[in-house]
Structure 1
Amino acid sequence: MKVEEEVAGPVLNRLRRAQGQLAGVIAMIEAGRDCKDVVTQLAAVSRALDRAGFKIVAGGMRQCMAAAADDDKAPPMTEEELERLFLILA
């Protein structure tokens, strides 16, 4: 399944922001910055990646549900499948 165009833009923005934050974390470590500052920025990178992943999963669920509504032959995602997608990101 392909990432929807309306989801791809915001996801790419989040990933680019995370990429910049990660570069900042690397620079902080190289500069010998305080551990507290490094960990704080690293947590921000992690949250940005999580948000991007959740946005992709939410878009995918919307696609699957729409496809199932359009095609009675295609079964909707089961609760277990949805749970597995979210747990991958946890």
Structure 2
Amino acid sequence: MELELAGAELKSVLNRLRRAQGQISGVIRMIEEGRDCEEVITQLAAASRALDRAGFALIATGLQRCIADMESGTKSGEDPEKMRARLERLFLSLA
């Protein structure tokens, strides 16, 4: 399964990843400055959520494409059961 995102999907995922990148940079800076642990954890949790959402958006796009391929009769050459197992592993990797 190749990663093919339309313009809006790609922009959304990249924005989430850039937001997470900024949050992680902020967390590093906060630790270096000796900031309060609670503040650091709050920002780290926000970065984690941003990464999770980007991952889920990628998986959802993959599912949407798989369903569209199945409905249109297009075959990727991959056994449907193997594809299901791969998608399940992807979901579980973010859980």
The bucket for the TM-score relative to the shorter chain is 0.7 to 0.9
- The alignment of Structure 1 onto Structure 2 pairs a total of residues equal to 89
1:72 and 1:16 map into 2 onto residues whose CA distance is 34
Give me the TM-score of the superposition, normalised by structure 2.
0.83
1:3–1:56 Cα contact (<8 Å) kept: no
> Out of 60, 83, 87, which is 1:82 matched to?
87
Q: TM-score, normalised by structure 1?
A: 0.87
Unpaired segments ≥5 residues, structure 1? none
Aligned-pair identity in percent equals: 57
SS at 1:4 equivalent: coil
Residue 57 of structure 1 aligns to a residue whose secondary structure is: helix
Give the C-alpha shift of residue 24 in structure 1.
Answer: 0.5
Paired with 1:72 and 1:29, the residues of 2 have a C-alpha distance of: 51
What is the letter of the counterpart of residue 27 of structure 1?
A: R
Q: Which sections of structure 2, spanning at least 5 residues, go unmatched?
A: none
What is the RMSD computed on CA atoms of the aligned residues?
Answer: 1.7
Give, in whole Å, the separation in 2 of the partners of 1:14 and 1:81: 24
Name whichever of 3-12 and 22-31 sits farther off: 3-12
